[in-house]
Amino acid sequence: RRKCIFKKSCSHYVFETTQNEGLIKGLKAFQFRYKNCRGNFSIFQNPINNEIQMILPSQIIIDKEEIAERLIT
């Protein structure tokens, strides 16, 4: 089975969002993760602040705290 690229698994993220913010927000969270939890991501070190970040297929940049540990080490 393929492991999620995010620290919080996609299913847990969608469940938590749905539970806390309602069905519509949960569906939007599912759509976001479905589009971005695939290949075509890049991990890089930001030259400005030296933080490790990831750019997702949708061109959104996320910080190290959201990236799965297995991808950082």
Q: What is the pLDDT of residue 15?
A: 96
How many structural domains comprise the chain? 1
Greater pLDDT, 3 or 10? 10
pLDDT at 13 over 60: yes
Do the beta carbons of residue 33 and residue 44 sit within 8 Å?
A: no
Question: Considering the domain boundaries, does residue 4 fall inside one?
Answer: no
The pLDDT of residue 38 is: 74
pLDDT at 1: 42
Contact 18, 25 (CB under 8 A): yes
Q: Over the stretch 15-73, which tens digit does the pLDDT of each residue have? A: 999 999 999 999 999 999 999 987 789 999 999 999 999 999 999 999 999 999 988 88
Residue ranges making up the domain that contains 31: 10-72
Does 3 reside within a domain? Answer: no
Q: Is residue 2 part of a domain?
A: no
